[in-house]
Structure 1
C-alpha cells in the first residue's frame, strides 16, 4: 500500500485553471513495503508546472540516503540550474531514505550491505548488514514501478549514491545491470569484506549491459588519514577501468578530490558528474529509439484559421527535425491532423514551416515527448508562435 502526502520546497500556493502547479514541489509518499516488511517513505520532486506540462516525459534521478535531506535537496536544486538553458531536458528526483528504525534496530547498513563474512567487517558493521537483496527488491520491484506508473517518465533513470549508498548502487549494477541507465557513485566503500565489491566490479561481465550506460566514480581523502583500506581497493578498481576494461556500452568517468573530506565531496562530485553526463552521455541515451513502430493520430488546434502546421521530430517519420517537410491536414478552420507511425520515445515540435515560427503549446514548455506504445490519440493546442510574440 502506498500513501501520499505533499510538502513544498518554498512557500506553497496553488493557482486555478491554466497554470496548474506553478512551483516545484516535493511529495512525501509512504510505502508499506512487502520486500522489507517495513513502512518506508520516499520523496518525489517534480519541477515547475509539471501538472501543466502533460505532454512532456521526465527522466528520473534516484538519490539514496535521502534521510539526509540535504542530499536530496542538493540534487533536485542543482539539476534545475544545470538544465535551465535547455527546457527539453526535464527531470524528476526521487529520494530513497534509509533511516534508523529504533524499534527494529535497523539502519542504513542493513539496506546497503550483504551478509558479511570477514571478522573485521563484521566487527565494524555488526549488527547492521545483510539485507541488501531485499532492499534492492524494494527499489526495483516497489519504488521504481510506482514512479513509472504514477508519473510521466521516459523509463530512463539515474542512481546517485554516497558512501555505502554508492556501494549499494554498484552492487545494483552487478546484480541487476540494466536497472539504471547511469550510476553516480560518490566515495563508495569498495573495501568491505576483503574487497568484496571491488572484486565483483572487476569480475563482472559487462556484456550484460543492454544499452549504453554511464558510471561515475569519485573519492575524497579517504585512505589518507582514515580508513586506510579504502585506498588500495579503490586503486584496484580504478586500474581495472583505466587499463583493463574494454567495452562499448559503458562510459566510466573517474575523479579524485583529495582536498575534500568524505562529506564535502558530495556536492562537487554531483556537479561534475552531471556536467560530464550532459556534455557526453545525455544525447547518446536520448537518441535511443524502439525497433517497433506505433501508429498515432495527432490533432492540433491552431489560433488562426489560416495557419499551416508542420510536425518535425527525432526520427525519419518525423522528418528528422526538418521544420517544413511533413504538413498536417486541415480538418476544419481551427483543426489540423495527421496519422503516422513513430518509434518510442517520439519527440517532436510544431512549426508553420520554419524554426522562427515554432509553436508554443499550452501543455509543454519545450519538445513534446510521448510513448506511442501507451496511447494512440493525441491532442494539442497552440497558444502562439515564436515570431508572433
Structure 2
C-alpha cells in the first residue's frame, strides 16, 4: 500500500471540498425579511429623533381604497414588544381566525421610558434614583400633535385608535385615559405601574368624555400592590362608566410581570373586537 499516494489523495480531496465551500451557490438567493417599515422623525416637542415601527396589513399596497384601524403600541421597539404584537395582529386578522380586523400597528420606540411614561413625582427617593422622571405631559403631546397626525396623513386609516401599554406604559396609558380620553377609542392597559407617586393618579377624577370606548385592564400574579391597584382602576372605571363604555378586567393567575402582556393582548383582542362585531 502506497501511503504517500493515499495522503496525497486525501489532501487533494480536502482542498477540493474547501474550494467548493468558498464558491457561492448560485441556487441560493438570500433576501432581508421585513414585516413593515421603520420611520425616523425629528420630534420638535421632545427635541430628539424618534423611531416608529410600522406594521402594514397584507395587501395594504395592493388595495388603494381600504382604510384600516390603528393600534399604537408603547414600548414599540423591535427588541421590545413590536414584533410579537404585530404577529398577534397578523394572526388575529387571518380570514380563518377573524378575531380582529386587518389593522396597522404603530410601535413607538423608546428613548427614555422613565422620562416619557411618568408624571412629576413627590417621591424624592424615586426622583433621586431616576432623575429624568416626570415628563409624560410632553410625551402625551408628542403622541397627540406629532405621531397621530403623521400616521393619519401618511397611511389610510379609520378613526378607530387603540392604545396598548404595559407596566410604566400602562401608567401613561391610564394617565391619557384620565386626562385626554378622546385620544384613543380603545385602551389595553396591562400590569399598570399605578403604585407610582404613592398611587396619586388613582386619587384623581377622570376627565369626562362622550365617545364610545372599550377599556381592558389585565394583571398577572405580580404581588399584592400590583394586583390591588389594577383592580382599583377597574372598579373606578366600571363604577363610573358611561352607557357607551365597556370595561373589562382579566387576572392572569399563571403569568407574572414579565410574561403577562402577550396573553393579555390576545384576550383583549378577542374581547374588544368580538364585541364590535355584534
Q: Name 1:31's counterpart in structure 2.
A: 41
Q: Is the 8 A contact 2:216 2:248 kept in 1?
A: yes
Shift of 1:69: 3.1
**1:286-301 → structure 2 map (5 Å cutoff):** none
Rounded to whole Å, the distance in 2 between the matches of 1:172 and 1:143 is: 15
Alignment partners' CA distance in 2, 1:175 and 1:115: 15
User: Cα deviation per residue 1:196-243 (whole Å; 9 max; x = unaligned)?
Assistant: 12223xx214xx32311011111112224xxxx43443343233345x
Query: Which residue pairs with 1:248 in the alignment?
Result: 243
Larger of the two Rg values belongs to structure:
2
Mapping 1:288-367, distance limit 5 Å: none
Query: Unpaired segments of 5 or more residues in structure 1?
Result: 1-9, 14-23, 100-106, 285-389
Whether the aligned pair in 1 keeps the contact of 2:221 and 2:227 (CA below 8 Å) is: no
2:234 to 222, 238, 244: 238
Contact kept? 2:234, 2:247, Cα under 8 Å: no
SS in 2 for 1:251: strand
Q: Quick one: distance in 2 between partners of 1:68 and 1:153?
A: 23
Closer/same/farther in 2, CA of residues 175 and 258 from structure 1, 3 Å limit: same
Show structure 1 runs of 4+ deviating over 6 A.
none
Structure 2 residue matching 1:62: 3-state secondary structure:
strand
CA drift at 1:171 = 0.8
- C-alpha displacement at 1:261, in angstroms? 1.2
Task: Output aligned runs, 1:164-179, within 5 Å.
Answer: 164-179=168-183
Aligned residue in 2 for 1:114 = 119
C-alpha spacing 1:222/1:179, structure 2 compared with 1 (3 Å): same
Aligned length: 247
In the alignment, what sits opposite 2:71? 61
CA distance in 2, matches of 1:133, 1:246: 25
User: Could you tell me the TM-score, scaled by structure 1's length?
Assistant: 0.59
**CA RMSD for the aligned pairs?**
2.2
1:275 Cα deviation (Å)? 0.4
Q: CA shift at 1:245, angstroms?
A: 2.4
For 2:180 and 2:100, locate their aligned partners in 1 and report how far apart those are by CA, in whole Å. 29
1:87: Cα distance to partner? Answer: 10
2:105 aligned partner: 93
Report the counterpart of residue 272 of structure 1 in structure 2: 267
Which structure has more strand as a fraction of its residues?
1
Query: Residue 184 of structure 1 aligns to a residue in which SS?
Result: strand
TM-score, scaled relative to structure 2: 0.82
Distance 2:39 2:269 in 1: 26
Residue 47 (str. 1) matches residue 43 (str. 2): no
- Contact 2:186–2:215 (Cα < 8 Å) also in 1: yes
Shift of 1:68: 5.4
Q: 1:238 to 1:176 in 2, by over 3 A?
A: closer
How many angstroms does 1:172 deviate by?
1.1
Q: What secondary structure does 1:69 align onto?
A: coil
